[in-house]
Amino acid sequence: MKMHRPVLARAALSLLVAMLGGLLGGPSARADSSVAIAISGTVDGTPESVYVSGLAQITSSLVKTDPKFNHPPRVILSIDLHNVTGKGLSTGATYVTKAQDELLRPLAPSDLVAIAFPFYPNTAVGFRSARAGLASFNLSFDVTTGNITGGTATVSTPSF
Report the pLDDT value the prediction gives residue 8, as an integer from 0 to 100. Answer: 44
| Measured distance CA(159)–CA(136) in Å, rounded | 13
Q: What percentage of the chain carries pLDDT values higher than 90?
A: 71
Range of the domain at 99: 29-156
Report the pLDDT value the prediction gives residue 26, as an integer from 0 to 100. Answer: 39
Q: Is residue 63 part of a domain?
A: yes
User: In the predicted model, what is the mean pLDDT of residues 46-60?
Assistant: 97
| Measured distance CA(81)–CA(39) in Å, rounded | 9
Report the pLDDT value the prediction gives residue 30, as an integer from 0 to 100. Answer: 46
Q: Is residue 13 part of a domain?
A: no
| CA dihedral for 118, 82, 51, 156, sign (positive or negative) | negative
Q: Is residue 87 part of a domain?
A: yes
Report the pLDDT value the prediction gives residue 160, as an integer from 0 to 100. Answer: 79
User: Structurally, how many domains does the chain consist of?
Assistant: 1
What are the tens digits of pLDDT across the range 131-156?
999 999 999 999 989 999 999 999 99
Q: What is the pTM of this model?
A: 0.77
Report the pLDDT value the prediction gives residue 68, as an integer from 0 to 100. Answer: 81
pLDDT at 2 over 60: no
| Measured distance CA(72)–CA(76) in Å, rounded | 13
Q: Is residue 150 part of a domain?
A: yes
Going by DSSP bridges, is the β-strand pair 110-121/94-96 parallel, antiparallel, or unpaired? antiparallel
Report the pLDDT value the prediction gives residue 50, as an integer from 0 to 100. Answer: 98
What are the tens digits of pLDDT across the range 20-31?
444 433 344 445
pLDDT at 6 over 70: no
